[in-house]
């Protein structure tokens, strides 16, 4: 092998090393950008992609609720579990098992998803269904939802028709009794 062949072999080797170094740097940059982009993904976005599938949602004061995620909106989600529907306050969600690996960005959501927790509770009230309000402290109140304010709901309980006001901040979930 002549000196020219050795020189070209050296250049080839240096070029291979430079390519490998560039590929390593590029892989690190792609991984870093991927992590940075994932910071934009919200739990609600993952839940939105889970609509129509079965998941187990951990809820403060209740524990796991397993069922089909029917709807996700601003601050709440609807889970159909066996004979009961659950309107779950999103702030009370602790864990989700079985969620989609995908996410739906907020810009792709329907305008109906802007309806807040009060809207979901008003639907229960208008239907006249009995329900159980589960609070974050583990207590519960069963009765008829009468009215829903901006940050609380009014429940009529028991035979004596006692009225209980429940702040949304204390509410973990509303469970249908139908």
User: Tens digit of pLDDT for each residue in 64-97?
Assistant: 999 999 999 989 999 999 889 999 999 999 999 9
**pLDDT class of 107 with cuts at 50, 70, 90:** confident
The DSSP symbol for 109 reads: S
| Helix, coil or strand: residue 152 | strand
C-alpha to C-alpha distance for 178 and 176, rounded to whole angstroms: 6
Q: What angle do CA 135, 136, 140 make, to 5 degrees?
A: 25
Which residue intervals of the chain are DSSP H helices?
3-38, 43-50, 117-127
Q: Between the CA of residue 19 and those of 31, 140, 171, what are the distances in Å?
A: 18, 64, 58
Least confident of 32-41, 51-60, 121-130: 32-41
Whether 178 has a pLDDT exceeding 70, the answer reads: no
CATH fold for domain 43-176:
SH3 type barrels. (2.30.30)
Q: What pLDDT score was predicted for residue 23?
A: 72
Whether 135 has a pLDDT exceeding 70, the answer reads: yes
């Amino acid at each position: 092998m002549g000196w020219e062949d050795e020189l070209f072999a050296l250049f080839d080797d240096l070029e291979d090393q430079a390519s490998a170094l560039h590929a390593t740097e590029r892989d690190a940059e792609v991984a870093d950008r991927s992590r940075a982009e994932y910071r934009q993904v919200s739990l609600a976005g993952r839940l939105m992609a889970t609509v129509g599938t079965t998941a187990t949602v951990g809820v403060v004061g209740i524990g796991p609720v397993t069922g089909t995620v029917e709807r996700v909106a601003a601050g709440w989600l609807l889970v159909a579990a066996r004979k009961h529907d659950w309107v779950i306050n999103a702030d009370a969600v602790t864990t989700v098992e079985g969620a989609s690996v995908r996410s739906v960005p907020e810009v792709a959501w329907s305008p109906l998803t802007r309806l807040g927790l009060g809207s979901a509770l008003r639907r229960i009230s208008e239907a006249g269904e009995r329900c159980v309000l589960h609070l974050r402290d583990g207590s519960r109140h069963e009765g008829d939802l009468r009215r829903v304010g901006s940050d609380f709901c009014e429940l009529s309980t028991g035979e004596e028709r006692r009225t209980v006001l429940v702040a949304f901040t204390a509410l973990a979930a509303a469970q249908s009794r139908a």
